[in-house]
Structure formats: structure tokens, C-alpha cells
Amino acid sequence: MGLPDGQTLQLDTMTVELFLDLHSQPCRAVYLFAKKADIPFEYKKVDLTSGQQYGEEFGQISMVRKVPVLKDGDFILTESIAILMYLADKFSTADHWYPAEPQKRARVNEYLSWQHKAIRESGSKIFWFRAMVPLLTGAPVDQEKMDSVVEDLTSSLTIFEDKFLQKRPFITGQEISLADLVAIVELMQPVGTGFDVFEGRPLLSEWRDRVKKELGESLFDEAHHTLMNAHTLPQVLKDSGMLELLKSRWKKILN
């Protein structure tokens, strides 16, 4: 186009910028939704493994220094759930993602609210305990701590199956919604460390397969590729210098 280096021509005002690192569950939810719903976006990678979120430039985007972040012109938005709802509304995505019918919508809202302190918290902890803590402290995490968090996750999975799914194909019923999307990316996090949350849970496994099919296997696998390579994190973090920083801050990050 003949533009000087570094400049881009914004061809339409509908394209949003999404600041993502696919190691992060909420980033995967946003990525999957944007791709699946054909939402035009510019992918802006934020490399958590090199501490890019702590840099000057990213600090200008978001003082919270977390991903994902959405930028729509001058409007900047954090929190994946807020981003997903914003995208669903702005791009008038298919109703089933965030149903207009009040009771169906309430089911989605209920799940999205409950999951923070349930599946997200214990799934994240298992990821950290298995992938990161041995690296940061030189020893595996204390077995009692591990057992405790696995117990928490197990309780959450039981509630997920008994309350949120029951005998339905998806959380709201016949069709996939934002709730299933947010659920699946969080449940995959421990899987990235070799901890199979689906083992021995046929109901959950069937739901996972349905969600994967709905999203498209290839898109699902693409979104989870980075996570499934989590075994390379030790070397990646050593190379980038982030290991030292994480050693002093890991407990804070976990909370």
C-alpha cells in the first residue's frame, strides 16, 4: 500500500484489537468466540512468558496489567466476561451465545458468576502447582496443598455436572453459549499439565466432545496449542529471564 513502516490503514471501524496470550484461559475464551463468530479483530500478542504485561507500553493499555484486553478505538476494556458480552452485543452474534430470553440468559450469567471462585480458581491453582511451582521452588508442591486443591476442583466438577449440565447437551440446553466456552477453557488448564479432569467422568467428557465439535476441532486445537506445550515453559521462562521475577512474586500471582 506504500505506507511508511509501522503504519497501518484502518480499513473499517468495526475491527477491534484483542490483546491476548493463549496460555491464559480467559484469552482462549475470547479468541475462540471471536474466531467462531467471525468477529473482525487484530490479534495483539502479549507475551506473558517474557513479562510483556509489566512493560511500559502495555501499562498504557491497561494498568491492571492482565490479559485479555479489548481496544475498540479509544475504548479499552478488561475482563474476558465483559469482553465476551461486549462482542456479542456489538457484533449481534447468534442468539444462542448469550440468549435474549431472560431465564436462559440468567443461566449463562449464573454460570459466569459462579465459575470465578470455583472452577477457575482451582483449575488455575492445579496448573500453577504442577507446571510452575516445582520450577520456582525447586521442589514439588506440598502434597497436602495439592490434595486440598484437587478436592476443591472435584467438588466444583460435581456441581458443574449436577447443577449446570444435568442431562442437557449444553449449559443452557440444546445450544452452546458463552457459559460452555468459559467452562471449557478453564477445564483445559489442568489438562495442559497432564492432569486429566475428564477421566472417569463420562458426562463431562461427552460435553467436552460436543463443545469441541461445535467450535470445530481444528479451531479448538489451535487455541489450545500453546497450553498443550506447557512442558516447554521451564526453558522458555529461563531464556526470557522471567523465572527470577516469578520466583519472588508467584504467591501474589496465584492470588
Partner 1 sequence: MPLELYLDLMSQPCRSVYIFAKKNNIPFDFKQTSLMMGDHHGEEFKKINMVKKVPAMRDGEFCLSESIAMMMYMVEKFKTPDHWYPADLQKRARVNEYLSWQHMETRTHGSKIFYINIMIPKIMGKDIPQDKRDDAIEDLNGTLKMMEEKFLGDKPFIAGDQISLADLVAIVEIYQPLAAGMDVFEGRPKLKAWKDRVRQAVGPELFDEAHKGVMGAMEMVKGMDGSKLEAIKPKIQKMYF
Can you give the binding site for partner 1, defined by CB under 8 A? 63-64, 75, 77-82, 85-86, 89-90, 102-103, 105-106, 109-110, 112-114, 116-117, 121, 148, 159, 162-163, 255
- The phi, psi pair for 155, rounded to 5°, reads -60, -45
For partner 1, give the closer residue by CB, 82 or 94.
82
154 close to 126: Cβ distance less than 8 angstroms: no
CB of 89 to partner 1, least distance (A): 6
Using N-to-C axis directions, what is the helix angle for 202-215 and 178-191, rounded to 10°?
110
CB of 133 to partner 1, least distance (A): 18
The 8-class DSSP code of residue 10 comes to -
- The phi, psi pair for 150, rounded to 5°, reads -65, -35
DSSP string, 147-159: HHHHHHHHHHHHH
For partner 1, give the closer residue by CB, 17 or 79.
79
For partner 1, give the closer residue by CB, 81 or 219.
81
Using N-to-C axis directions, what is the helix angle for 178-191 and 102-114, rounded to 10°?
20
CB of 100 to partner 1, least distance (A): 9
| Mode of pairing for the β-strands spanning 75-78 and 41-45 | unpaired
254 close to 152: Cβ distance less than 8 angstroms: no
Residue owning grid cell 463468530:
37
Smallest CA-to-CA distance from 180 within 88, 90, 107 is with 107
For partner 1, give the closer residue by CB, 90 or 247.
90
CB of 184 to partner 1, least distance (A): 18
CA–CA gap between residue 25 and residue 152 (Å, rounded): 19
CB of 69 to partner 1, least distance (A): 11
For partner 1, give the closer residue by CB, 236 or 246.
246
For partner 1, give the closer residue by CB, 181 or 237.
181
Copy the grid coordinates of residue 191.
Answer: 489438562
CB of 163 to partner 1, least distance (A): 5
